[in-house]
Amino acid sequence: IYKIMRRRLLTFALMAASVSGACAFEQTDTIVNVCDAKQVSVVTSDSLLEVNINGQKDNPSYRFNFRHPLSERATTVISESSEWDFSFFSMPGSKKWQPNKSRHLDVNTTYLDLGLSSTVNADSRLNVNMGSSWEIYLNLCSLIGIEGKKSALNLGFGFGWRNFRLKDDVRFCKTGNKISLENYPENAEIDFSRVKLFHLSFPLSFSYALGKTGYADIAVIPNLNTYASIKTRYKLDGDRQKDFNKKIHHNTTTVDFRLALYWKNLGCYFKYNPVNVFNTTYGPKFQTFTTGITIGL
Tens-digit pLDDT profile for residues 149-194: 899 999 999 999 999 999 888 999 999 999 999 999 988 999 999 9
Looking at the chain, the whole-number percentage of residues with pLDDT higher than 90 is: 56
Query: Would strands 253-263 and 34-35 be described as parallel, antiparallel, or unpaired?
Result: unpaired
- At 198 the pLDDT is 97
Contact 293, 257 (CB under 8 A): no
Q: Write phi, then psi, for 18 (nearest 5 degrees).
A: -70, -15
Residues 6+ apart with CB under 8 A from 104: 85, 98, 147, 148, 149, 152
For residue 92, pLDDT over 60 is answered with no
- What pLDDT is stored for residue 38 in this prediction? 72
Closest listed residue to residue 113, CA positions, set 144, 141, 138? 138
pLDDT band (50, 70, 90) for residue 229: very high
| Mean pLDDT (whole number) for 68-87 | 61
